[in-house]
């Protein structure tokens, strides 16, 4: 879970935090997103750095063709998709995440989803997993950008909040109780809200599923021609 908003990444890019990078490198850490009102979202770095689990495999099984993993983190999905024979590219603004992905045998590059990317308009599947629908704090803007990246009738798989929410927050990354980034915008979106935003951004809902054992909810969207 690391990408940025529409502006170009800089040394103040929140996911370039040294403490976040150290957690990715160590494959563990007490990380969370917190705002000034007491809201807190734990970041499961340990799970992100392990091999793909049952929830991830449910995503991998639905991917078609060439896959773009947006905010690929430590690269577990890139690894799993590569092993299944997909052409896949992970993008992430955190250099440690890109290195971790490459070390797992995957292809990855540093940058934001809002930067120019290879083969725009030609990807068959795009992924927003681990809450990455929150990138930039504006789900419709993000969905419109990804619509430009995939082909007509292309697929986007989004992991949503289990709760029926549609929130915008100004947050920081925290390590324990210590703030470890500048303030940035983030969105928290449930399935109903995602489908509403998708309908206004060039997408149609195709499928929803829940991995009950892992408490994870996914929605597949199909790009409208």
Contact status, residue 34 vs residue 171, Cβ threshold 8 Å: yes
pLDDT (tens digit per residue) in 57-115: 999 999 999 999 999 999 999 999 999 999 999 999 999 899 999 999 999 999 999 99
What is the pLDDT, as a whole number, of residue 8? 40
What is the pLDDT, as a whole number, of residue 105? 96
Full DSSP string of 168-224:
EEEEEEEETTEE-S--EEEEEEBHHHHHHHHHTTTEEEEEEEEEGGGTEEEEEEEE-
What is the pLDDT, as a whole number, of residue 7? 42
What is the pLDDT, as a whole number, of residue 23? 79
Structure tokens at 120: 């725009």
Domains of the chain: 14-223 (3.40.50.150)
Contact status, residue 130 vs residue 73, Cβ threshold 8 Å: yes
The segments of the chain whose pLDDT lies below 70 read 1-12
CA distance 76 to 72: 8
């Amino acid at each position: 879970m690391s990408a940025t908003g529409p502006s170009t990444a800089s040394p103040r890019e929140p996911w370039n935090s040294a403490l976040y990078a150290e957690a990715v490198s160590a494959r563990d850490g007490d990380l969370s997103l917190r705002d000034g009102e007491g809201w807190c979202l734990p970041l499961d770095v340990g799970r992100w750095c392990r091999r793909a689990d049952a929830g991830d495999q449910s995503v991998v099984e639905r991917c078609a063709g060439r896959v773009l993993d947006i905010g690929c983190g430590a690269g577990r999905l890139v690894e799993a998709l590569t092993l299944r024979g997909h052409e896949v590219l992970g993008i992430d603004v955190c250099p440690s995440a890109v290195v971790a992905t490459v070390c797992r045998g995957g292809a990855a590059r540093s940058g934001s989803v809002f930067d120019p990317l290879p083969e725009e308009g030609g990807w068959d599947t795009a992924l927003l997993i681990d809450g990455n629908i929150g990138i930039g704090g504006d789900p419709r803007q993000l969905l419109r950008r990804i619509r430009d990246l995939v082909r007509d009738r292309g697929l986007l798989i989004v992991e949503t909040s289990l709760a029926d929410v549609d929130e915008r927050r100004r947050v920081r990354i925290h390590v324990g109780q210590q703030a470890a980034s500048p303030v940035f915008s983030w969105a928290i979106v449930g399935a109903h809200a995602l489908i509403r935003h998708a309908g206004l951004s060039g997408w149609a809902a195709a499928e929803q599923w829940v991995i009950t054992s892992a408490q994870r909810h996914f929605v597949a969207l199909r790009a409208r021609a």
